[in-house]
Amino acid sequence: MYSSFATSPTILLSMLALSMQWMNVNLCLPFQDLAREQFHAALRGRLPALKRLQIITTGGNSVVTAFELAPNLHTVVLERLPPSMPWLQLNHFRGERLVGMDCLHVLRLGVSLLECKFSLVDEDIYEEALLPPHLALRTLHLTDHTVCLDILRILTLPALSELNLDDGRDSVEQYHEVLSFLSRSRPPLQRLSVQHGYPRLTHAFPFLLQLSALEIPEVTVAEYSILLQDLRARDPATFLPNLKSLVISSWESLYYEAEQPASVDCEVLADALTQR
């Protein structure tokens, strides 16, 4: 847990004095500490061994630049902090409670990222033009009710092997964007997790011939029935031919009696899978 009050300068400076030895650092500090001139002066250019950095803070508007000169930094996790990092060298990034345009900044500059995860983004992304294809990114996780589709519609990821999409919606717009993204990227996707709407998801399967793991949280009774029917009846040579792992879970609707959670019979499901 971090405090909203500034850290004692004596304590803060004694910690920063060890920065030449830092390798894996988790900083939980109020933004006042991160914005101090002493913080920047003590760290900038004095992070030769730093490989992994996590910063959780109370949030602020100014950009913290103290970590831009860290030659071995490859993994960054930020919460509530506008990002300013040595983007060209980063391989792994996770951002929580950023604003939408910060996510766009990461996607534009992080051309070497292999893994990128965003969750609980606070504002929309005001960008309609496609970004240049990202040739390195292999793992993308988007967890948010507002910007998942904003991000997906501007990306082309021809190397993507894992996609986790959870925007809490089952809509025609969502699956239109998923189909458009897959058609544009043609990725060798091997792992996919997407909430809601299994019947619509089936339209994406022609792009998922290499898929080996499929996860569908929050399946209703009707969707589960369609899934079982597809597993039994559709040609396994064209319907997810490389599927080896299937994870489904049910959910309870608080509002619609028609949307009842599926009661999964494991034996029936196993029998349907073995018939493929």
Give 165 or 49, the one with higher predicted confidence: 49
Q: What is the DSSP string of the chain?
A: ---SSPPPHHHHHHHHTTGGG-SEEEEE--HHHHH-HHHHHHHTT--SS--EEEEE-S--SSPP-TTS--TT--EEEEES------GGG--EEEEES--HHHHHHHHHH-TT-SEEEEES--S-----SPPPP-SS--EEEEE-SSSHHHHHTT---TT--EEEEE-S---HHHHHHHHHHHHHH-----EEEE-S-HHHHGGGGGG-TT--EEEEEEEBHHHHHHHHHHHHHS-TTTSSTT--EEEEEE---SS-TTSPBP---HHHHHHHHHT-
Q: State if pTM tops 0.85.
A: yes
Q: Would you place residue 169 in the very low, low, confident or very high pLDDT band (cuts 50, 70, 90)? A: low
Q: Would you place residue 258 in the very low, low, confident or very high pLDDT band (cuts 50, 70, 90)? A: very low
Give 168 or 197, the one with higher predicted confidence: 197
Contact 213, 186 (CB under 8 A): no
What's the pLDDT tens digit per position in 225-255? 888 888 888 888 888 999 999 888 875 543 4
Q: Would you place residue 256 in the very low, low, confident or very high pLDDT band (cuts 50, 70, 90)? A: very low
Helices 221-233 and 266-274, axial angle in degrees (round to 10): 30
Q: Give the mean pLDDT of the chain.
A: 86
Give the mean pLDDT of 132-153: 89
**Cα 127–Cα 131–Cα 133 angle in degrees, nearest 5:** 160
Instruction: Report whether pLDDT(128) > 70.
Output: yes
Q: Collapse the DSSP code of 118 into the 3-class scheme (helix H, G, I; strand E, B; otherwise coil) and give the result.
A: strand
**Residue in 131, 168, 170 with CA at minimum distance from that of residue 147:** 168
Q: Would you place residue 59 in the very low, low, confident or very high pLDDT band (cuts 50, 70, 90)? A: confident
Residue 175 CB neighbour total at 10 angstroms: 20
Instruction: Report whether pLDDT(5) > 60.
Output: no
Give 85 or 60, the one with higher predicted confidence: 85
Instruction: Report whether pLDDT(257) > 50.
Output: no
Q: Would you place residue 173 in the very low, low, confident or very high pLDDT band (cuts 50, 70, 90)? A: confident
Query: In this structure, are strands 75-79 and 92-96 parallel, antiparallel, or unpaired?
Result: parallel
pLDDT for 253 equals 47
What's the pLDDT tens digit per position in 212-221? 999 988 788 7
Instruction: Report whether pLDDT(201) > 90.
Output: no
- Out of 31-45, 62-76, 213-227, which region has the weakest mean confidence (pLDDT)? 213-227
For residues 78 and 59, give the distance between their C-alpha atoms in angstroms, rounded to a whole number. Answer: 10
Instruction: Report whether pLDDT(259) > 70.
Output: no
Instruction: Report whether pLDDT(2) > 60.
Output: no
Give the mean pLDDT of 120-139: 89
CA atoms within 13 A on the CB side of 202: 13
Give the mean pLDDT of 156-185: 86
Give the mean pLDDT of 176-200: 90
pLDDT for 109 equals 95
